[in-house]
């Protein structure tokens, strides 16, 4: 496929604005050829109108046909994987192995949602049967299920050019639930975005779906995304990125004449608690693995462990020396964009200059060449200082983490109670530790979307039970997840039918249960027909 640098408005290639922008190769700091043209206001308008028109048809496409569409996208991405990975590698400097694995994850995710559609029970069908004899009033027949919400805008993320981008989780869940999608491509990997976008467009056409089922818009700035979030025909949005951008878009969504749900996953600092028993039993292993986790993908995971609490009383020398060694042996790492490089370097400099933080280890100094490189860094403080300076809880995007020592149980519990929302919290402990610190689990339930035990938060399993979200500021909506099959609910809403004749009901609610889905009938789960 050729990269044309044009937004895909349904089946049309948009000419776009007169300006153009290019992607950068982070490994060289040089621009990559291929000009990309920002979408115009007219392009936004057309994409929204086509999506709204498509919704009428696409929302009624049977689940199994939507499943076929998702599987078709997966197989076509796999067929184009070589070119896509090549381009993504050029635009992100992420390793090809990582990008191949991310391709696999993206396709598995599409297939997992296809499976959810084929199984069918996700619609939460509920049936309360009539009772004409009930006194004083006859009881009506009430049946409810989930329906799609309307056209969805999805913002591609910089750090996962495939799994959280054009054909990523939000696109997959929105399409699965029956909604057209307009993707605003991340400007750091526009070529990758266009390639994947063209694959999806081909599948829309091949499956005979309406043109507006999918569009992809480019923009070098923020105007297109803002216009989409504010467009009256758009009914929901999904975003993965920075707190500042996520919050700004959420504000636009909430302050529209018709407010819409907007799911921004804005990353977090993902506290790790190294409890005494685990540290003394496995200090060295934990150090090595924790180093791997916080430097994974150059520290550009939303789930990067950015703060590590450990006992300062009997501090584990095995842990500390191994951690220092690993960090000292870390090469400079390439980050995704010049902006990330600059922010990281500036914030690290600020932190290094603070008297209340000690730099306990640093990796190879980042050279001053043109590549977007940064150095690995670890700082240290204690719980008392963290509590006095809650700004230290903020995410530092890149390969740095903060060790925080505590002296006793009550102190660490109090620090946990004062945490803001995070995507994850991790506990390393023995069974004894867990008994002694059982209160810690209780506290963390109210702080995060996922609690990890004796593992590492990077690596988010795509499955039915996954929750990738959490209380603000980890996300704008702690009731939702952006990974796993429960993500389908973010782009759906319930509708109930009162006394509608059986033949006019959606299949999922018909007496004979032709799709064989699980339903709650008079409060009992069953797959039986009525």
Q: Is 390 in the site for a copy of itself (CB under 8 A)?
A: no
Residue 207 · residue 65 · CB < 8 Å: yes
Count of residues in contact with a copy of itself, rule CB under 8 A: 80
Of 252 and 374, which has the nearer Cβ to a copy of itself? Answer: 252
DSSP helix/strand/coil, 521: strand
Q: How many CA atoms lie within 13 A of 202 on its CB side?
A: 16
Distance CA 306, CA 311 (A): 17
Choose the stretch contacting a copy of itself; rule: CB under 8 A; options: 214-222, 254-262, 341-349, 397-405: 254-262
Q: Is 255 in the site for a copy of itself (CB under 8 A)?
A: yes
The C-alpha R_g of the chain, in whole angstroms, comes to 25
What DSSP string describes 342-383? HHHHHHHHHHHH-TT-EEEEE-SPPPSSSS-EE--EEEEEEH
Distance CA 428, CA 273 (A): 6
What residues are labeled active site? 265, 302
Which of 369, 465, 511, 514 is the binder for a copy of itself (CB under 8 A)?
A: 465
Which of 330, 481, 482, 513 is the binder for a copy of itself (CB under 8 A)?
A: 481
Residue 22 · residue 34 · CB < 8 Å: yes
> Angle at CA 447, nearest 5°, toward 148 and 314?
150
Q: Is 409 in the site for a copy of itself (CB under 8 A)?
A: no
Of 11 and 497, which has the nearer Cβ to a copy of itself? Answer: 497
Which of 133, 355, 368, 501 is the binder for a copy of itself (CB under 8 A)?
A: 501
Of 186 and 468, which has the nearer Cβ to a copy of itself? Answer: 468
Of 359 and 463, which has the nearer Cβ to a copy of itself? Answer: 463
Which of 13, 83, 115, 364 is the binder for a copy of itself (CB under 8 A)?
A: 115
Q: Is 328 in the site for a copy of itself (CB under 8 A)?
A: no
Choose the stretch contacting a copy of itself; rule: CB under 8 A; options: 19-27, 166-174, 305-313, 496-504: 496-504
Which of 276, 277, 299, 471 is the binder for a copy of itself (CB under 8 A)?
A: 471
Q: Which residues have a Cβ under 8 Å from the Cβ of 134 and sit 6 or more positions away?
A: none
Burial (Cβ within 10 Å: 0-12, 13-18, ≥19) of residue 360: middle
Which of 95, 108, 222, 251 is the binder for a copy of itself (CB under 8 A)?
A: 251
Alpha-carbon distance values, 216 to 150, 199, 207 (Å):
17, 11, 18
Distance CA 129, CA 402 (A): 57
Which of 27, 441, 507, 516 is the binder for a copy of itself (CB under 8 A)?
A: 441
Helix (H) / strand (E) element for 244: namely: helix 243-254
Which 8-state DSSP code applies to residue 499? Answer: S
Q: Is 143 in the site for a copy of itself (CB under 8 A)?
A: yes
Of 374 and 452, which has the nearer Cβ to a copy of itself? Answer: 452
Q: Is 498 in the site for a copy of itself (CB under 8 A)?
A: yes
Q: Which of residues 18-57 bind a copy of itself (CB under 8 A)?
A: 55-56
Of 88 and 486, which has the nearer Cβ to a copy of itself? Answer: 486
Which of 2, 137, 349, 528 is the binder for a copy of itself (CB under 8 A)?
A: 137
Q: Is 414 in the site for a copy of itself (CB under 8 A)?
A: no
């Amino acid at each position: 496929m050729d990269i044309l640098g044009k937004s895909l408005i349904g089946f049309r290639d948009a000419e776009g604005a007169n300006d153009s922008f290019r992607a950068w190769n982070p490994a060289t700091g040089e621009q990559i050829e291929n000009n990309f043209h920002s979408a115009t206001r007219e392009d936004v308008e057309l994409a929204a109108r086509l999506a709204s028109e498509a919704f009428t048809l696409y929302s009624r496409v049977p689940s199994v046909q939507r499943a076929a569409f998702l599987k078709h996208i997966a197989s076509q991405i796999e067929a184009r994987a070589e070119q896509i990975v090549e381009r993504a590698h050029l635009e992100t400097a992420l390793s090809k192995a990582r990008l191949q694995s991310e391709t696999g994850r993206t396709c598995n995710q599409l297939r997992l949602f296809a499976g959810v559609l084929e199984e069918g029970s996700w619609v939460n069908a509920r049936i309360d049967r009539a009772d004409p004899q009930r006194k004083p009033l006859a009881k009506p027949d009430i049946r409810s299920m989930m329906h799609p919400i309307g056209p969805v805008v999805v913002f591609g993320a910089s750090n996962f050019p495939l799994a959280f981008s054009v054909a990523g989780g939000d696109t997959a869940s929105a399409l699965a639930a029956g909604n057209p999608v307009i993707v605003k491509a991340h400007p750091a990997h526009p070529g990758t975005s266009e390639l994947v976008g063209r694959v999806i467009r081909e599948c829309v056409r091949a499956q005979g779906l309406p043109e507006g089922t999918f569009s992809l818009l480019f923009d070098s700035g923020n105007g297109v995304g803002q216009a989409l979030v504010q467009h009256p025909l758009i009914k929901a949005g999904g975003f993965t990125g920075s707190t500042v951008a996520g919050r700004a878009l959420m504000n636009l969504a909430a302050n529209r004449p018709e407010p819409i749900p907007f799911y921004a996953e804005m990353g977090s600092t993902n506290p790790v608690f190294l409890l005494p028993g685990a540290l003394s039993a496995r200090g060295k292993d934990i150090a090595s693995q924790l180093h791997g986790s916080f430097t994974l993908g150059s520290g550009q995971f939303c789930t990067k462990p950015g703060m590590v609490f450990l006992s300062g009383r009997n501090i584990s020398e095995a842990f500390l020396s191994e951690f220092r060694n690993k960090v000292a042996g870390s090469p400079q790492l390439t980050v995704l964009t010049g902006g990330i490089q600059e922010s990281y370097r500036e914030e690290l400099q600020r932190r290094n200059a603070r008297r209340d933080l000690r730099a306990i280890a640093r990796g190879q100094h980042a050279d001053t060449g043109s590549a977007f490189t940064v150095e690995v860094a670890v700082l240290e403080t204690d719980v008392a200082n963290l509590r006095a300076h809650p700004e230290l809880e903020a995410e530092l995007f890149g390969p740095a983490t903060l060790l925080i020592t505590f002296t006793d149980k009550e102190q660490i519990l109090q620090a946990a109670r004062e945490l803001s929302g995070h995507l994850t919290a991790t506990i390393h402990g023995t069974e004894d530790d867990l008994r002694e610190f059982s209160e810690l689990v209780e506290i963390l339930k109210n702080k995060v979307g996922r609690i990890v035990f004796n593992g590492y938060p990077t690596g988010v399993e795509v499955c039915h039970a996954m929750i990738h979200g959490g209380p603000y500021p980890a996300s704008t909506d702690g009731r939702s997840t952006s990974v796993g099959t429960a993500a389908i609910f973010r782009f759906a809403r319930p509708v109930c039918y009162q006394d509608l004749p059986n033949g006019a009901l959606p299949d999922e609610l018909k007496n004979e249960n032709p799709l064989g889905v699980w339903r709650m009938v008079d409060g009992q789960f069953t797959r039986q027909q009525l």
